[in-house]
Amino acid sequence: MQTAYLKTDGGVPGRFSQEINFKPGTYQVRFKAAKRTDFGGPQSFDVFYDDTKIGSYTANSGAFVSYSTDTFETPGGKHTIAFVATTTEGDNTAFIDQVQVGLPKPPEPPTLINAGFESPAVTGSKIGPFTDGWTFNSRAGIHHNGGPFGTGAAPAPEGEQTAYLKTDGGVNGTIEQTLSFAPGTYTLSFKAAKRNGFGGLQTFDVYYDDRVIGTYTPSTAEFTAYTTQEFTATAGTHTLKFAATSTTGDNTAFIDQVTLTLSE
């Protein structure tokens, strides 16, 4: 029924800590965090083992998301685990719960927020710019089954909504999300379809940060499964992005059911 919270208010960052009596070994801190949704901005924070930083995080979702720190070695004895806010401006809050210190777990892929584009719930469509897990620019958005694209949009393969990427007036749609990765080799899978009965084919690239990991042109109005090339992520924050590349016409591609998989 309760959580901890970290605030930055008046330039003073929040902090909480606990001294723990360790046995010698390798450990990892695991916890869940969420942002405050009704006020202020995202709160970033660091996690420390004594004076060693073992992770930096930004709670970007109003729902609690699982995080794990880097592993750390201890010779045993009493040492301090601390959570320290790092945002320097504004009145920002992160909520933290279910803190555990234990043996390292195998890395897991970060959790994509709103992977099926079911939020925000719309009855027709919603065009960017807006952010809901993903950040949509002014030529991207969310479409509900039976919305304004009508029979030109196939029903969502997952849930009732899909994302879409348009090229309109020479401006290309983009959808992106920033995540905290554990080191490893990953692939991104998704389903995509073209708009039927209007416009041309929409091509788009998928990016890991500034690297293109796949180029796609959905050629059918039925949703088809795609998987990017493997990409190697370093520990830390990285951005996944879908970016339309058509340069002429009014073209649309629909995207849904995005999955991030750790290969090794």
Express each pLDDT in 128-168 by its tens digit.
Answer: 999 999 999 999 999 999 999 988 899 999 999 999 999 88
CA 135, 140, 143 angle in degrees (round to 5)? 105
Does domain 125-262 fall into CATH 3.20.20.70? Answer: no
Question: Which burial class, exposed, middle or buried, applies to 152 when counting CB atoms under 10 A from its CB (0-12, 13-18, 19+)?
Answer: middle
| Cα–Cα distance for residue pair 65/19, rounded to 1 Å | 25
Amino acid letter for position 113: I
Domain topology for 4-102: Jelly Rolls (2.60.120)
Query: Token digits for 40?
Result: 């202020």
CATH 2.60.120.260 residue ranges in the chain? 4-102, 125-262
pLDDT tens, residue by residue, 243-258: 999 988 889 999 999 9
pLDDT tens, residue by residue, 196-230: 988 889 999 999 999 999 999 999 999 999 999 99
pLDDT tier, 48 (very low <50, low <70, confident <90, very high otherwise): very high
Between 9 and 157, where is the model more confident?
Answer: 157
pLDDT at 53: 97
pLDDT at 199: 81
Instruction: Find the mean pLDDT for residues 63-83.
Output: 93
pLDDT at 264: 64
| Cα–Cα distance for residue pair 59/80, rounded to 1 Å | 23
| Cα–Cα distance for residue pair 66/78, rounded to 1 Å | 26
